[in-house]
Amino acid sequence: MKNELYKEIRKMKSNDLICVASRPGQGKTTTLLALVDDLLTNNKNIVFVTLESSTELLKSKIKSKSNKKLNVVDLPNSSIEELSDVVEKIKKKTKVDYVFVDYIQLLNCDVKVRDALLKELTISLNIPFVVSSQLPRNYNEMNIGLEKQEYTKIFIIKDFNEYEIL
CA–centroid distance for 134 within its chain: 12
Q: Of all residues in the chain, what percent carry a pLDDT higher than 90? A: 27
Asked whether residue 146 carries a pLDDT value surpassing 70, the answer given is yes
pLDDT band for 27, please (50, 70, 90 cuts).
Answer: confident
DSSP secondary structure letter of residue 73: E
pLDDT for res 97: 95
Whether 99 and 121 have beta carbons less than 8 Å apart is answered as: no
Amino acid at site 146: L
Here the CATH number for the domain that contains residue 93 is 3.40.50.300
Residue 158 has pLDDT above 80, yes or no: no
Domain of residue 117, residue span: 2-165
pLDDT digits (tens, 9 = 90+) for 58-107: 666 676 556 678 888 888 888 899 999 999 999 999 999 999 999 888 88
60 by Cβ neighbours in 10 Å (0-12 / 13-18 / 19+) ranks as exposed
Q: What pTM was estimated for this model as a whole?
A: 0.88
Number of independent structural domains in the chain: 1
Separation of alpha carbons 87 and 85, rounded Å: 6
146: left (phi over 0), alpha (psi -120 to 50) or beta: beta
